[in-house]
């Protein structure tokens, strides 16, 4: 659920398609609480908003939504005031941003060089000396993010460069080793440690609660926080959230399908064990 100290503030008034609250919040000091949503249902996005979560991660790495459905999920988020993030692959960054995401979360970032390339993909090129001048995002104002031309031009370019967030994911031992350097890349706003993939790449299969994996998560979280960036972790219960917050994390995400399955299993009398 949304914390009472959420740094997002009230949802912006209707008008611009983009919700620009995410990047300033990630660069602030408060905690953010949200959900991964891999099911292509606008109703689930609305439910996450009505429940009080700060953000929803539309999961286009493991989910089944195409770009048309993703755009509808983004509309549901904008209508209900929840901040929309899309987990997507590098090749899909441009059209995901054009559809109106407040930020993207990219999996399997193992080096600062990869993080730098992603940061440049996020930004439109600008005249020398201006923010985003190294960017190479393709420019078009016919998109939903620009109001189909109603809010195009330099104002849209600058708004996008200044407000859209890049969250990179650390999911391997190699990435943990250079977590500080990845986080320190200009244009990276947050670093999310993916425990399931990290556990698998460390040889522990899905047992990411085991001590060696938790030590790697702690090392990465502390390194990201030491770099002055927002550290994020998957958190399925309050105990884990408190532990990770103690290490310096302040961006926490649960999983919508896990919550739904647990509720169904409990209703069916099966007890619903926590799992991801």
CA distance 66 to 57: 15
Each residue's pLDDT tens digit, 134-182: 799 999 999 999 999 999 999 999 999 999 999 999 999 999 999 999 9
Each residue's pLDDT tens digit, 247-275: 999 999 999 999 999 999 999 988 655 56
- Catalytic residue set: 62
Each residue's pLDDT tens digit, 57-111: 999 999 999 999 999 999 999 999 999 999 999 999 999 999 999 999 999 999 9
Instruction: Centre a 10 Å sphere on the Cβ of residue 239 and count the other Cβ atoms it contains.
Output: 9
CB 188 within 8 A of CB 166: yes
Each residue's pLDDT tens digit, 51-70: 999 999 999 999 999 999 99
Bridging pattern class, strands 55-59 and 165-170 = unpaired
Residue 5 CA, distance from chain mean position: 19
- Burial per residue of 257-274, b for 16 or more beta-carbon CB atoms within 10 angstroms, e otherwise: bbbeebeeeeeeeeebee
pTM (two decimals):
0.93
Bridging pattern class, strands 32-37 and 251-255 = parallel
Each residue's pLDDT tens digit, 206-245: 999 999 999 999 999 999 999 999 999 999 999 999 999 9
Mean pLDDT for all residues in the chain: 93
User: CA geometry: angle at 194 spanning 91 and 159, to 5°?
Assistant: 50
Query: In 3D, which of 56, 121, 105 has the Cα closest to residue 83?
Result: 56
Query: Could you tell me which CATH class the domain 22-267 is placed in?
Result: alpha beta
């Amino acid at each position: 659920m949304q914390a009472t100290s959420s740094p997002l503030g009230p949802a912006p008034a209707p008008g611009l398609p983009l919700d620009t609250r995410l990047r300033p919040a990630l660069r602030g000091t408060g905690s953010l609480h949200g959900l991964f949503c891999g099911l292509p249902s606008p109703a689930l996005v609305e439910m996450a908003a009505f429940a009080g979560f700060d953000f929803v991660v539309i999961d286009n790495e493991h989910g089944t939504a195409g770009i048309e459905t993703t755009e509808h999920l983004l509309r549901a988020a904008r209508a209900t005031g929840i901040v929309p993030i899309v987990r997507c692959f590098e090749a899909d960054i441009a059209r995901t941003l054009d559809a109106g995401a407040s930020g993207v979360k990219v999996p399997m970032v193992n080096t600062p060089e990869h993080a730098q390339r992603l940061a440049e993909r996020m930004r439109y090129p600008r005249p020398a000396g201006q923010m985003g001048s190294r960017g190479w995002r393709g420019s078009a104002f016919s998109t939903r993010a620009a109001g189909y031309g109603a809010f195009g031009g330099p104002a849209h370019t600058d708004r996008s460069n200044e407000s859209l967030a890049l969250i990179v994911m650390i999911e391997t031992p190699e990435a943990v080793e250079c977590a500080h350097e990845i986080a320190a890349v200009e244009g990276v706003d947050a670093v999310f440690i993916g425990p399931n993939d990290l556990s698998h790449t460390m040889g522990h299969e899905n047992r990411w609660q085991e001590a060696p994996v938790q030590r790697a998560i702690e090392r990465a979280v502390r390194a990201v926080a030491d770099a002055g960036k927002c550290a994020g972790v998957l958190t399925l219960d309050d105990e884990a959230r408190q532990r990770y917050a103690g290490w310096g994390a302040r961006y926490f995400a649960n999983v919508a399908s896990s919550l739904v399955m647990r509720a169904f299993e409990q209703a069916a009398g099966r007890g619903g064990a926590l799992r991801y």
